[in-house]
A and B are shown apart, each in its own frame.
Chain A
Amino acid sequence: MSVALADVQFSRQGQAVIARMTGEIDLSNAGNIAGAIIDAMPNASLTLVLDLSAVDYLDSAGISLIYQLRESLRTRSQTLRLVVPSNSPASDALRLAGVLRHIETIETVAAALHNIG
């Protein structure tokens, strides 16, 4: 009996699917979460907004999840927009892993939805 570490909630806005993740993402759940997000992404959608602002913890397995999602979306001609506010736990992990300067992050979901059809 233990509580699920993380949860993902989906919503749609126009052509975008917003996946809001909460809780902790590590080796124990990253694979399942990636699968759940891919499954929830319809072919007709153009963009996935992955919202990490309410994530309490993210490690290298979580960072791999982001890369894996980006790859899967690219093969379907879809794009990933990553919401990671500065000074959030997710941004700490991205900074320490040295990937923050290689991937584009956006401060808010509203900004991520800007200019999407």
Chain B
Amino acid sequence: MTAENPRFDVVRHAPRAGQVVLAPASTELVPSRQVRTLYRLSDPELSELSLDEFLDELLVRVQDALAVDTVAILLVDDETQQLVARAAKGIEEEVQRGVRIPIGQGFAGRIAAERVAIFIADVDHADILNPILREKGIRSLLGVPLIVEGGLIGVLHVGSLRPRTFGDRDLAVLQVAAARAAPGIERARLFTALEHEHRGAMLLQRSLLPKRLIDVASVDTAARYLPASDEVGGDWYDVFELPRGRLGIAIGDVVGHGLSAATLMGQLRTALHAYAVEDHGPARTLELVDRFVQTMPDYAMATAAYGVLDPDTGSLCVASAGHLPPIIVGDGVARVLDVPPAAPLGAFPYGGCQQHQASLSPGETLLLYTDGLLERPGVPLNTSIEELREIVSGAGSAEAVCEVAIARLVPARGPRDDVAVVAMQNRRVPVELSMRLAADPRVLGDVRHALRRWLRERGADPKAITEITLAVNEACTNAIEHAYSPGPAEFELRATARDGQVTIVVSDVGRWRPPRGSHRGRGLAIIDAAMDEVQVDSTARGTDIVMRRRV
């Protein structure tokens, strides 16, 4: 052990082999060009760099100033209280292999634990933990702690492949580098962590919103989600199918921002959907979601609105837990729905969420939105809601309602708070119904809903609607069961009304097969019993079943 060098002030003898603990350097530095580059590590222009970019800059400048073979930076991992190799030059393996040194052990670990500079003259005879240092043939090492406002953030060390006695001036240079770089590292690290969380939250938010909206014949839907310019929030929307052809539409806003708000948003959206498909109805669904929020380990609060539309009848039932009132747009006018607002979800144990019974006639559009859309300092909420009502009143489709609301109310630079809007239009019923359908039993439910809507618009009474729907369903079943053609098979349905009589034609591409077995026989019996007139036309391209009935 020959490391005791008379040129250093030894503050105390190292109890470990080969390590010399040094007193802070007292040398007055002559500001060479290289040293000046180290002073400039705290220049404001470097504050824009990411952590990796900043560390690279530090490595280059230190290597240049000290003419060393290796430079390495290890940063404290707060969770494990270990030093993690974060950037290196000459010993890149440190970073690639993810070297971790427990604080207190080995060369870097001791620098961190005791916050002292340490010099190792001969690696071969010293207590070092990291085998890479020996593998690379490093002979001498000098390291200093990185400290910001009294807190240790890491270790900076340099190495030489030839035996080298790092002198007082070398230590002074390294100390300048460490002192100037440490705040920059900390700032870049915080910035990167925030960036990371922001990006993570953004990704999460995106992944938790519906990938695409439902595609059903009875309604048109549209939605927009705009993240806030700086921080992700907890807004969500959802549109889903319910039993018996009805549709659910939901919107919500979790109080707070960042990853935790986005995560809670995902949980609430899932919970609401899960209760909704159990057909509890809007008020009960929100009560159940509230009960779920009450069980969350962390304080959580959110507003939400949930509506159920039966497109067949236009019946719309909406409930609100502290959420902004829905707006219904139709024929150049818009009205604000007077939904009795219950307390927000998670606010306090509550019950008695009331639901509001409204109607959404064919051609009308329901709009739900979050408060990010209306947020303007100094403007009362009611004024903003009135303005929104005015703005969307001329929009003729779900898409147009969303578009005009965002275009007129969200500033070009992006919203201050995140914004979600979702709209659902009860589709207009065409005078003539024309559907081209896959020969697949799963289309039958949609056919029945479309037909019932059309028949109701044509003035058919409930009995006629029931019976005609049964008959047309049987004709479609027949087309599906007998469909044969290369490629995906299809059939067509056309419905027209004239002089109080409806005519419905189901056309397939196959030849009419006389019904076989009692099953098909019953289907034909239903058609015969339900309709006034039934006719089977076989043509070269397929078979038409023509059914007529007075309504």
A-side residues, CB < 8 A to B, are: 1-5, 7, 22-24, 26-28, 56-57, 59-61, 63-64, 67, 89, 92-93, 95-99
Does the CB pair B477–A59 fall under 8 Å? yes
A22 and B214 alpha carbons, distance in the complex (Å) = 23
User: What are 24 A-B residue pairs whose CB atoms fall within 8 Å in the complex?
Assistant: A1-B214, A1-B241, A2-B241, A2-B442, A3-B241, A4-B243, A7-B243, A26-B445, A27-B477, A60-B523, A60-B526, A63-B519, A64-B518, A67-B518, A92-B466, A93-B470, A93-B526, A95-B529, A96-B467, A97-B522, A97-B523, A97-B525, A97-B526, A98-B522
Does the CB pair B444–A27 fall under 8 Å? yes
> With an 8 A cutoff between CB atoms, is B473 at the interface?
yes
New A-B pairs, 13, CB < 8 Å, besides A24-B448, A59-B473, A97-B525: A1-B241, A5-B445, A22-B243, A23-B243, A26-B445, A59-B474, A60-B474, A60-B520, A64-B518, A67-B518, A89-B466, A96-B467, A97-B529
A3 and B522 alpha carbons, distance in the complex (Å) = 28
Question: Closest chain A residue to B529 by CB distance?
Answer: A96
A3 and B525 alpha carbons, distance in the complex (Å) = 30
> With an 8 A cutoff between CB atoms, is B242 at the interface?
yes
Chain B residues within an 8 Å CB radius of A3: 240-243, 277
Residue among B244, B467, B522, B523 making CB contact with A92, cutoff 8 Å? B467
B447 smallest CB distance to A (angstroms): 10
B-side residues, CB < 8 A to A, are: 214, 240-244, 277, 441-442, 444-445, 448, 466-467, 470-471, 473-474, 477, 480-481, 518-520, 522-523, 525-526, 529-530
Residue among A28, A60, A67 making CB contact with B445, cutoff 8 Å? A28
Residue among A5, A26, A57 making CB contact with B477, cutoff 8 Å? A26
Chain A residues within an 8 Å CB radius of B522: 60, 63-64, 97-99
Does the CB pair B241–A98 fall under 8 Å? no
Question: Closest chain B residue to A30 by CB distance?
Answer: B441
Which 5 residue pairs across A and B have the least CB separation, nearest first? A28-B441, A60-B523, A27-B441, A97-B522, A96-B529
Question: Closest chain B residue to A92 by CB distance?
Answer: B466
A29 and B428 alpha carbons, distance in the complex (Å) = 30
A97 and B277 alpha carbons, distance in the complex (Å) = 32
Chain A residues within an 8 Å CB radius of B442: 2, 28
Does the CB pair B441–A98 fall under 8 Å? no
Question: Closest chain A residue to B443 by CB distance?
Answer: A28
Chain A residues within an 8 Å CB radius of B448: 24, 57
A27 and B483 alpha carbons, distance in the complex (Å) = 14
Chain B residues within an 8 Å CB radius of A23: 243-244
Interface centre among B243, B471, B520, B529 (most CB of A within 10 A): B243
Does the CB pair A28–B466 fall under 8 Å? no
Question: Closest chain A residue to B519 by CB distance?
Answer: A64
A72 and B49 alpha carbons, distance in the complex (Å) = 76
Known: A2-B241, A97-B522, A98-B525. A60 touches B477 (CB 8 A): yes
A27 and B241 alpha carbons, distance in the complex (Å) = 20
Chain B residues within an 8 Å CB radius of A98: 522, 525, 529
A69 and B480 alpha carbons, distance in the complex (Å) = 24
A91 and B106 alpha carbons, distance in the complex (Å) = 86
Chain B residues within an 8 Å CB radius of A56: 244
Does the CB pair A96–B470 fall under 8 Å? yes
A56 and B518 alpha carbons, distance in the complex (Å) = 23
Interface centre among B243, B444, B522, B530 (most CB of A within 10 A): B522
Does the CB pair B480–A27 fall under 8 Å? yes
Residue among B240, B470, B477 making CB contact with A1, cutoff 8 Å? B240
Chain A residues within an 8 Å CB radius of B480: 27
Chain A residues within an 8 Å CB radius of B470: 59, 92-93, 96
B135 smallest CB distance to A (angstroms): 56
A62 smallest CB distance to B (angstroms): 10
Chain B residues within an 8 Å CB radius of A95: 529
Chain B residues within an 8 Å CB radius of A1: 214, 240-241
A93 smallest CB distance to B (angstroms): 6
Chain A residues within an 8 Å CB radius of B240: 1, 3
Question: Closest chain B residue to A95 by CB distance?
Answer: B529
Residue among B244, B277, B481, B526 making CB contact with A96, cutoff 8 Å? B526
Does the CB pair A26–B473 fall under 8 Å? yes
Does the CB pair A27–B481 fall under 8 Å? yes
Chain A residues within an 8 Å CB radius of B519: 60-61, 63-64
Question: Closest chain B residue to A6 by CB distance?
Answer: B243
A76 and B5 alpha carbons, distance in the complex (Å) = 100
A91 smallest CB distance to B (angstroms): 11
Chain A residues within an 8 Å CB radius of B471: 96
Residue among B244, B444, B525, B529 making CB contact with A26, cutoff 8 Å? B444
Chain A residues within an 8 Å CB radius of B477: 26-27, 59-61
Known: A59-B477, A93-B470, A96-B470. A26 touches B441 (CB 8 A): yes
Interface centre among A27, A63, A67 (most CB of B within 10 A): A27
Does the CB pair B525–A96 fall under 8 Å? yes
Known: A1-B240, A59-B473, A98-B525. A24 touches B214 (CB 8 A): no
A28 and B399 alpha carbons, distance in the complex (Å) = 33
